Structure 1
Amino acid sequence: MALYAALMAGQAIAQCGPPNLSGDLDFAVCKDWPAYPGQSISAEATFERAAGSDVGTSGFYDLDLSIAQDGQAGPIAILHQDSAFESNGVALSELTLDTARYAVAPEVRAFGVRTRFTNSSRLNPLDETQLTLYIREGETLRPVLQQLLVYQYGGEWDGSCEGERSEITRTVEIAKTSSHGYADLIVRTRATGTSSVGKGDACKDKITESKPVSTTLRYNGKSYVLPQGFKAL
């Protein structure tokens, strides 16, 4: 809630500065928005532990977003989301802003928030990144694509050689077609699988790479609809 309180107090944050972190598990990031000269985007994920827990990474993250304009006191648009992310065995490890050219509608440009989650298991590793796109509507921000799984790496092995691992990578492109006034999104998925067998120096990897698959996401009037398996946990 730290960033949200500062925004409501009308503090000027038109230029990116050092992160304002209140806890060792909090994340904050700020980035200039090339699509709109003089504007910057700020994001802060504030951790709150689950009830009854005083240690560990089990809990939820509130997310605060804002857009600032050079020369103006206070933000020009904000959004606060309670319990936007859950941390339970797989913890938030990175928060970044994505300012690629997401021209989702005439005169409407979206920006992305990417969140990376990892666990600490050596034998059952998991690493995944999700992407949420937001647009500005007056003085507020609204998500139009929520928690698209753009990267995932995971598997299980015996700590020596034998096991299986998989990796999925997705990219997002703007299509020429549209639905309900918003451009369709083309998501290209690449999947790779690795299986290992043997002992010691005899350990061998077998890599299987699937043919890239393109999927079209369409806007239903409120948000882009994600097929099964495309939404992050």
Structure 2
Amino acid sequence: MDTETLLTRFVGELSVLDPVAVWAHGSLAAGDYQEGRSDLDLIAVLPGPVTPAVAWRVALAHARLRALPLAAGLHCTYLTPGTADDATRRHLTWAHEQLFRRPVTPVARRELHTFGRVLQGRPPGALLPPVSDRELADFVVRDQRDYWRPAVDRAPLWTRHVWVDVGMTTFARATVTACEGRLISKREALDLLPGLGAPVEVVEDIRGRRYGDPAPPTEEWTARRARLTRDYLGPAIDALTASVSYD
């Protein structure tokens, strides 16, 4: 399998940095991974400070993988034991074929504790503090309020597959997490969305791209899908954030 070949090569490339641990979360760990369609969401814990020299070695390790199938979808955030506790801290990250900084969110941390896959080294429970249900719920509701709700008003975004797919599934997942304190997969989110009032034709369009082999959409459907998605998500997010107490 191309995925396992890539993961093996990646762990090997990181050996020069002597990582304390390398973990997978997201769909790869949760059992809903679709090769060639899902990203590879990884975390590496390095032993010491992430200096400019270390960042250069990280970039070099990823550059050496570029010829491998699926490498463009391999994303990894780099922690150290001394920086792992703070869920708001931004860490060196390789994603979308570039280096930048972003946090390891409470959702990613809960995924790691619940079903994280250890690729090398120590398990997540030995290095990451647990995430409380309240912390998790507060995060997903704030994310819907502060990131996704303003994005709904930016109409051009929603002509792109990724915004429709991630926006809809993230809303369903956030609803379950905020109300029930548990994480669900994208497959489960798609099953739940019609019951949450989502337009069925949009849900089936997402399902077809993730699990099937659909024909390219027409311009007419792309425009209609964008309108249906925005008309649904705006009020749905407003209702969720109004009904759930958060800090």
Structure number having the greater helix percentage: 2
TM over 0.5: no
Q: Which has the higher contact order (CA 8 A, sep 6+)?
A: 2
TM-score (norm 2): 0.27
> What is the TM-score with the length of structure 1 in the denominator?
0.28
Structure with more of its chain in strand, by fraction: 1
